[in-house]
Structures are given as C-alpha cells and as structure tokens.
Amino acid sequence: MKGLAYSKTALRFFSYPKAFKTSRLSMQHWKAKLIDAYRLSTVPYRNWKLRQMMKTGQVPVYSLFYHRVANETPTPWTMTEKQFKQQIDWLSDHFEIVDLQECQRRINSGFNDRPTVSLTFDDGYAENCEFALPMLIERRLPVCYFVSLDFITQQKYFPHDVELGLELPVNTIESLRALDLSGVEIGAHTRTHIDLGKVSDPEVLADEVIVASKELEDLIGRKVRYFAFPYGQYGNLNSAVFKMLREHGFLGACSAYGGWNEIGEDAFHIERIHGDPNLERIKNWLSFDPRIASVRSFNYNRARDNIKLPNKSIAEVFEGIKSPVTIPENFASPHSVPQNSLDTTS
C-alpha cells in the first residue's frame, strides 16, 4: 500500500509541467547562490589580481557568444529577454563593450588596463531581431552576428532544434541586410553548421568556409571579415581552416570553449565564453575566475593536422565545387592581408 501510495504521488508530481518548472527554478536558484558564494569567497584574490593586471597592462580581453534570445519555447541555447537585458546592463556597468577589431587591437598592442568584452551571436535565429539586437543597436553597442548560410538562404530549421521537436525561425537575407545597415557586423558560421573538426576533405572545408562566406558577402553587399567555428570546442576546431581564413583575408576566427584572450598573444584566434542565462555565472567567469585562467588555448600553429593544402595558395581546391558564386583564380589575393596587419589606429 505504501508503494502504491508513493507511485500515485509520483504520478501526480510528474503529470504537471508546473511541478517540473518549480523544481527547475528552485535548482537554478540554489546553483546561483552557490556560484555567488564561491565568487564572493574569492573576491580578495580577484581584486588583487585585477589590480596587478591593470598595473602591468595585462587585463585579459573577453568575448561572449549567445544564440537565441526569446521568451517563448525555451531551449538549452536560449535566454529570456529579461535575462539578456540584465546581463547587458551589468556588462555596461563593469566593462567597455567593444567590437571584435578593437578587442584584437588591444590584444595585439601588448598593453590593456581596461576590462574589455565583445558580444557575438551564433547561428542566426529570427527572434533575435525582436528584442536583443534592437536593444544593442539602440544603445549603440557593437555586436558580431554569425550565420550559417544554407539555413538562411533555404529557410531551414536547425537539426538540433528539430531533434527537440521545434521549428524555430531563422533570419532572412533581408533581415541580415537591415542589420548590416544598422551597424551589426555579419560573420560567417559555415554553410551547413558542420563540425569542422571532423572534416579532412580540403574541398569540403573550402566550400563550407571560404565559398559560403563569399556567397554571404555577395548577398549582404559587404565584406565578411570574421568566422566562428560551429560548436567551437577543442575537438571542433581545425588548424587547416585557420590557414584558409588567414590566406583569404579574414581578420579573425572565433572558438567557443570558454577561455579569455591574453594580452600580447595571437589576436587572430578569438576565444569566447558562453553567454550563460545565469547572470551569477557570467559575473563569476568575467571577474578573473582562476578556472578560466587555467583554460588551455588552442594553438593552431602547433596543432597536428593531416590535411595537405597547397603550399602557395589554396585556390585550386575550389576546382569542381558547384556554387552560384564564381570564384576567380586569384580570389585569395585581392583581400589577403599580412598576418599581423590589423588596423591599430581605430
């Protein structure tokens, strides 16, 4: 009888979504409290570390990435409008929010004594145009918006949403053009949101990264200067892609494994931290958390890669790739820039 009574109680609990929501919110509340307690317990060390970094001009540069800001249909990669506003308010009070190029300038300069952060979005969800992006534009806060081309041009739903039984709308080309005219930097995020760490075919890499980016810039009418690796963890990065991006004149490539960018290090590779919905996590990660400091940087110059690319140019890998955009033989040369030629005057 006791077992039966317990089963009925369990059934009553698990039959109501509100019970799940209440339980989840309670768990999130206590997690936030624990994170805040950890951060506060290390405040003396963090403040000392910040003072030392400011004196020596070694304050690291942060970059955050988001995916979707919406109040309806929550997913693991979604935050509410209220959560996003609270986060941007806090960032505005404690950091200089700058674009990716200014981040790179500060990293390259060898000296930075100001807390600095940049904002980016990945994938290209339509709901971002309802609140998040208009708010950033109104506040004149720079943001780089990375999109996966085929989902935009073909208006397809992302597989990771479909697996959850969701059909979440994506941006249109018209909306990207409007964002571009509003000052939002549009970046490339491959053609099909592929895991580049698993790709060894040079032609596939060229199509997903270079050809797709060229098509995107032709559609929006502006040079695509930045690229973000889908998924962005160590295993999803590819040193051959870094080489392609450099050779074709991109200013930088973004990962997403949760590291900060140390001053004087390689500014082409921009390490990013997840814009977690939990503001306490963001406060913890961006206040010189010792754990973030220990994150190992992906060094694509030393990474082993079995993909053999041509020595002088990778233009030949475009042969045979079907694309609505014609890639000239000297595609690499018109936009190519020297390895360390980022504009340091802006």
Distances (CA, A) of 218 to 125, 186, 215, 327, 343: 21, 12, 5, 12, 24
**Contact between 70 and 124 (Cβ < 8 Å):** no
pLDDT, average across residues 151-158: 97
- Closest Cα partner for 79 from 232, 281, 286? 281
pLDDT single digits (tens) 242-301 = 999 999 999 999 999 999 999 999 999 999 999 999 999 999 889 888 778 888 889 888
Q: What percent of the chain has pLDDT over 90?
A: 66
Spell out the domains of the chain, with CATH numbers in brackets.
Answer: 18-301+313-335 (3.20.20.370)
Of all residues in the chain, what percent are helix, strand and coil, respectively (each to 5)? 45, 10, 40
**What digits encode the pLDDT tens for the residues 115-142?**
999 999 999 999 999 999 999 999 999 9
Helix (H, G, I), strand (E, B) or coil at 225: coil
Tokens of 194: 């592929």
